[in-house]
Amino acid sequence: MGDTIQIKVPNKECANYLVKLVGDEKAHIDSVKWHSRYNSYVVYEYEPFCSEGFDIIVSISSDDLNTLDFIKYIYDKRQAAIDTLSNMCK
């Protein structure tokens, strides 16, 4: 495929949402990797037994850069809405 972006997601639920969004937009998930926050050399291509302390990086590709921009926009708007609602409940 042509262009690629990487999106860092905070948890597994957000990663699942992003995977579904990518499928709906006819893009392709290249990889989902768990990167340790404490050791830069620790990277898993599968969910570790204890996923605390890991960032999830989703690599997405598409032939159309506009599709990738749209996916990033929709994901960012969703996360902003979640953050706003979380802050209102505190």
58 CB-contact burial (10 Å; exposed 0-12 / middle 13-18 / buried 19+): buried
Is the pLDDT at 90 greater than 80, yes or no? no
Bridge partners of 42? none
Average pLDDT of span 58-86: 92
Specify the pLDDT at position 45.
85
Q: Give the residue extent of every domain in the chain.
A: 3-88
Specify the pLDDT at position 10.
86
pLDDT digits over 1-60, tens only? 488 999 999 888 888 899 899 988 888 999 999 988 888 888 888 888 877 788 899 999
Specify the pLDDT at position 66.
92
Best CA proximity match to 50, nearest among 13, 12, 20: 12
Class of domain 3-88: alpha beta
